[in-house]
């Protein structure tokens, strides 16, 4: 990779993460080397791209304008390289964001097939139940449930998963099995990202029934809610796919299965206005085909 191309890639990442050292490490550069490359780029342009402090670097007005063009050029170059090879082989890097349950249960089990198809592609998986910042974290595609956090993102709908309620057999033997939504008022409910409200709504025969419940336990990740339900701590809401292995193993039992508890939409999310990396587009198409089998 020549110095100018390296400098442009370094500039684009430093602009997003606000730090030369972090951006340099991503490209295998030491902090002094990263600083020298940026200084040389600024000298060549005759413009200051960053304002520097002891804690961070921020873009100048000239740097912000330059970044918009540079990111477009880098994405177009990646696309051109991919097309020129003409083999469908993917190279470079791909950074994927995913919620924990979806990542552990749907993404990771399918990665071996995709990675065998593209052995020159390096993948970094960011697994978290918070919404990542696609721009500052340099995420090429993120798979997320539900609505988008802001309008700077673009989504492609992938699949819908039914939302369900589950509990352990021991819990149901001790507390009884709900047969109507109103029965939930007498049960311990586990709040999680899959359902963070104390009001639960169901649909049946064209009518909507809502009930307010007592939520004694709140868990910040869906995997924790499922583990809590297995431990007998209450009834948990999750997507059907998140609880499928535990249901099949008999560790959990679905309750109120004859009531429609809604669904959770899985979307592929990108930064609006950026060219989608060939690797991101390929993995999205691959995962979509796998999920719809």
Q: Which residues of 112-147 are buried (b: 16+ CB within 10 A; e: fewer)?
A: eebeeebeebebeeebebebbebeeebbbbbbbbee
Per cent of the chain over pLDDT 70 is: 95
85 confidence band (pLDDT: 50, 70, 90): low
Q: CB burial class (10 A; 0-12, 13-18, 19+) of residue 2?
A: exposed
Tokens representing 78 are 């990646």
Tokens representing 201 are 């709504």
In order of their start, the domains of the chain are 3-85 (1.10.10.10), 92-151+266-291 (3.40.190.10), 161-264 (3.40.190.290)
Q: What does the pLDDT look like over 161-200, one tens digit per residue?
A: 899 999 999 999 999 999 999 999 999 999 887 676 778 8
Tokens representing 222 are 């869906």
Q: Which helix (H) or strand (E) holds 33?
A: helix 31-45
Q: What does the pLDDT look like over 113-160, one tens digit per residue?
A: 999 999 888 888 999 888 787 877 778 899 988 766 666 778 788 888
pTM of the model: 0.71
Rounded average pLDDT over 62-76: 83
HEC string of 138-177 equals: CCCEEEEECCCCCCCEEEEEEEEEEEEEEECHHHHHHHCC
Would you tell me the crossing angle of helices 31-45 and 3-17 to the nearest 10 degrees?
Answer: 100
């Amino acid at each position: 990779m020549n110095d100018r191309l390296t400098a442009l890639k370094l500039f684009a990442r430093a602009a997003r993460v606000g730090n030369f050292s972090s951006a340099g490490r991503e490209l295998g550069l030491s902090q002094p080397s990263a600083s020298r490359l940026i200084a040389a780029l600024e000298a060549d342009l005759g413009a200051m791209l960053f304002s520097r402090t002891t804690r961070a670097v921020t873009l100048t007005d000239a740097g912000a304008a330059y970044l918009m063009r540079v990111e477009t050029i880098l994405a177009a170059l990646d696309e051109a390289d991919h097309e020129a090879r003409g083999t469908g082989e993917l190279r470079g890097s791909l950074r994927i964001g995913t919620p924990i349950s979806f990542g552990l249960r749907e993404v990771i089990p399918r990665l071996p097939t995709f990675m065998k198809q593209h052995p020159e592609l390096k993948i970094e998986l960011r697994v978290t139940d918070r919404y990542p910042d696609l721009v500052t974290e340099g995420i090429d595609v993120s798979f997320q449930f539900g609505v988008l956090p802001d309008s700077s993102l673009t989504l492609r709908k992938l699949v819908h998963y039914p939302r369900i309620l589950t509990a352990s057999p021991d819990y149901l033997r001790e507390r009884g099995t709900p047969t109507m939504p109103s029965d939930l008022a007498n049960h311990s409910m586990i709040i999680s990202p899959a359902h963070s409200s104390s009001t639960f709504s169901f649909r049946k025969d064209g009518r909507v029934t809502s009930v307010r419940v007592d939520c004694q336990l709140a868990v910040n990740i869906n995997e924790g809610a499922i583990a809590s339900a297995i431990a007998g701590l209450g009834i948990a809401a999750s997507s059907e796919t998140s609880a499928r292995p535990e249901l099949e193993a008999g560790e959990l039992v679905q309750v109120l299965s004859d009531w429609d508890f809604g669904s959770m939409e899985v979307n592929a999310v990108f930064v609006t206005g950026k060219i989608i990396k060939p690797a991101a587009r390929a993995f999205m198409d691959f995962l979509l085909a796998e999920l719809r089998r």
